[in-house]
Structure 1
Amino acid sequence: MIGYYVHHHGLGHLQRARSILTHLDGSATLLSSLPTPDADLSWVQLPLDNLSRPVDHTAHGTLHWVPRHDRGLRRRMAMLADWIDAADPDLMVVDVSVEVAVMCRLMGVPTVVTAMPGDRSDRAHRSAYDSAHAILAPWAAEFSAGQWSDRWPAKTFHAGAISRFAGRRPAAAGGHGGPLRVLVLWGQGGNDQPGGFFDAAVRATPHCRWRQAGVGPDAGRSIWDLLCWSDVVVTHGGQNAVAEVAAARRPAVVIAQQRPHGEQAATVATLTRSGLAVGLDAFPDATRWPDLLARAVALGGDRWTRWAPPDAARRAAEFLRATADEVRHCVVEPTA
């Protein structure tokens, strides 16, 4: 039995978990504060942990989010402990929470912690990664040095970027003979777009046709269909968004949003250095869009296979299954 904790910020953590779980044959239970997405999943609904005004939420810098006397925090930790006690999991996968990872290990359950880009050398992150039995990195080993501090190479498994669209075969970009098609793909984990960005970009590129995923007439359109429609994608540097662009093999302009620990900045710098996409640290002046889009198209999308191999989710699942078997067989029963 594997327990799989999913953070509730945005939807990328959940989408990654669901991609991996398709290869685990129902042997895992998801635990999260997100709404239950699928009746077919084994799911434990946790309360949110921000039900009060946060006071000393870092416990003097030793953790990330443990606000004093927060009823939601207390209840979610109690529910996690009760589930561990009842289910007796062989392994807990944590994507992501320092506090959940440390608590699970304090209860004697080995953990696999999902690596996150950026500088994770702070005291709280070190506690989670140091105490983990293993670390699952959703990027290929060739990109590891630029993605995070890489203090734990001996116990890190590099699966590659994981996308729900992995293995699909999109049509080649640019084969329609019309204006350049530009898709703006943003996520639900926060939006740093400056006001008027989209309209200004459209005005600066009269030779292009722009669309926004999840906005206006495209609010209900399939993300995959929009990716296949596009010739080039403008997106942020979140792991899930980049993985989906990579799965579609689309040229891209990737803009780093401001995130703790320099998460997206690290990813964008790695993409730029590797020649996979045009990377930006911030939104550009609208007059730069013609050149930026042309540069992205020139790079193309064929190199994305290095970032998001089609079998990344399967490889991650096989690693988790093997790790669960390993730690299960290491249990020593007390003598009479």
Structure 2
Amino acid sequence: MYVHHHGSGHLHRAQSVARALGTPVTGLSSLPCPEGWPGEWVRLPRDDEGGHPDDPSAGGRLHWVPLHDRGLADRMHRMSEWLVAARPRAVVVDSSVEVVLLVRLHGVPVVGVVAPGRRHDAVHRLGLEASTALVAPWPSGWTRRLLPGLPDHVRDRVLAVGAISRFPVGSPRPAAERRRHVALLAGTRGDDFTAELVQSARQQTPHWDWTVMSGVLGRWHPDPHAVIADADVVVTHAGQSALAEVAAARRPAVVVPQPRPYDEQDTTAAVLREGWPAVVTDGVPSNGWAELLDAAHALDGEGWRAWCDGSAATRLATVVEDVAGRRSSP
């Protein structure tokens, strides 16, 4: 499994799928090996620390291949060396067009994990079309909306398995006589939230208790499940893993999409406006927080069931097993 090092969502998803596979799995990533990983971990050199990149997109034909970058060369060499030695039955790539191509050039089948957004450009299409199988961590029926502009012959190959949460699916907590509690998932770097905006939101909602989970704005919780599960409302960005964890806990949400390449979060947020237990905003609000939290609190968190039913990792693992089982005898 190739695990992209940007953010933490790719790693969380990989851990869930690796557990579902129930067999030794090799991780390929620049991230450190997580505790309990069920197999080898190949630590890759970084390819984004070489200063000002020279022609990183190869004239628009790829996403990240800067010329004369030692980190890129060492990274690709390390993966190639492992592919030749290990002869894997399949590699899950989440997510990189360049890694899809490298693996495929070694004659190894690829299970590509697709992210939402406008990914109909030639580079994304190359990676999608070169993959042996394509899976998406969102519920079935929404792929056309979550991958706008993608040709039908590519989009029709995408199997939507549902959102993958590292936490077990829970049930909405019964109402209790207590002060209401809101949990803010602001991301590792806080995203567009600022200390001033968070303080203003607190002041506007004196009848709510806030827990701020952020590496820069509050306290970073590596395992936020207990906080999310105890919240009456969760305020979150529209990243896939954050939404999966909120959905698994069956908590209503205020979703604040953040700027991301290819309109990833905006595309997701547009879908969330259509009947899901979420109030979606346009950017971080400066006013109206009391009304937003009350509106979200009135929603039924059980409505997340179709988004995250707790079996998505198993479904993705089944795809991997099917692709890996196609290997012919030498």
Residue 93 of structure 1 aligns to a residue whose secondary structure is strand
Q: CA deviation at 1:185?
A: 1.0
Alignment check: 8 A CA contact 2:15 2:37 kept: no
Alignment check: 8 A CA contact 1:51 1:71 kept: no
Q: CA deviation at 1:171?
A: 5.5
The runs of 5 or more residues in structure 2 that have no matched partner are none
Alignment check: 8 A CA contact 1:231 1:250 kept: yes
Q: What does residue 45 of structure 1 align with?
A: 43
Letter in 2 for 1:317: A
Letter in 2 for 1:27: P
> Deviation digits for residues 131-179 of structure 1, max 9, x if unmatched?
1111010011122122113532442221100001133x35515x23122
Q: TM-score, normalised by structure 2?
A: 0.93
* Alpha-carbon separation, structure 2, partners of 1:38 and 1:132: 29
Q: What does residue 87 of structure 1 align with?
A: 86
The runs of 5 or more residues in structure 1 that have no matched partner are none
* Worse-superposed segment, 237-246 or 191-200: 191-200
Letter in 2 for 1:26: T
1:216-255 equivalences under 5 Å are 218-219=219-220, 222-255=223-256
> Deviation digits for residues 25-48 of structure 1, max 9, x if unmatched?
233211000112126432100000
Q: CA deviation at 1:217?
A: 7.5
Residue 139 of structure 1 aligns to a residue whose secondary structure is coil
* Alpha-carbon separation, structure 1, partners of 2:87 and 2:229: 44
Q: 1:299 and 1:39, CA in 2 relative to 1: closer, same or farther beyond 3 A?
A: closer
Kindly indicate whether residue 22 of structure 2 is the aligned counterpart of residue 25 of structure 1. yes
1:171-186 equivalences under 5 Å are 172=173, 175-186=175-186
* RMSD (CA atoms): 1.8
> Deviation digits for residues 281-306 of structure 1, max 9, x if unmatched?
311122x1111111111222111011
* Alpha-carbon separation, structure 2, partners of 1:236 and 1:63: 28
Q: CA deviation at 1:220?
A: 5.0
* Alpha-carbon separation, structure 1, partners of 2:269 and 2:76: 35
* Alpha-carbon separation, structure 1, partners of 2:255 and 2:112: 26
Q: 1:190 and 1:46, CA in 2 relative to 1: closer, same or farther beyond 3 A?
A: farther
For these two proteins, the number of residue pairs brought into alignment is: 324
Q: What does residue 163 of structure 1 align with?
A: 165
* Alpha-carbon separation, structure 2, partners of 1:122 and 1:249: 35
Alignment check: 8 A CA contact 1:11 1:189 kept: no
Q: What does residue 62 of structure 1 align with?
A: 61
Alignment check: 8 A CA contact 1:268 1:281 kept: no
Q: What does residue 95 of structure 2 align with?
A: 96
Residue 142 of structure 1 aligns to a residue whose secondary structure is coil
1:276-315 equivalences under 5 Å are 276-286=277-287, 288-315=288-315
Alignment check: 8 A CA contact 1:214 1:221 kept: no
* Alpha-carbon separation, structure 2, partners of 1:189 and 1:110: 35
Q: Percent identity?
A: 41
Alignment check: 8 A CA contact 2:186 2:193 kept: no
Letter in 1 for 2:159: F
Letter in 1 for 2:103: C
> Deviation digits for residues 220-255 of structure 1, max 9, x if unmatched?
584111012210000000000000000000010011
Kindly indicate whether residue 325 of structure 2 is the aligned counterpart of residue 325 of structure 1. yes
* Alpha-carbon separation, structure 2, partners of 1:217 and 1:234: 14
Alignment check: 8 A CA contact 2:187 2:213 kept: no
Q: Which runs of 4+ in 1 moved over 6 A?
A: none
* Alpha-carbon separation, structure 1, partners of 2:284 and 2:91: 38
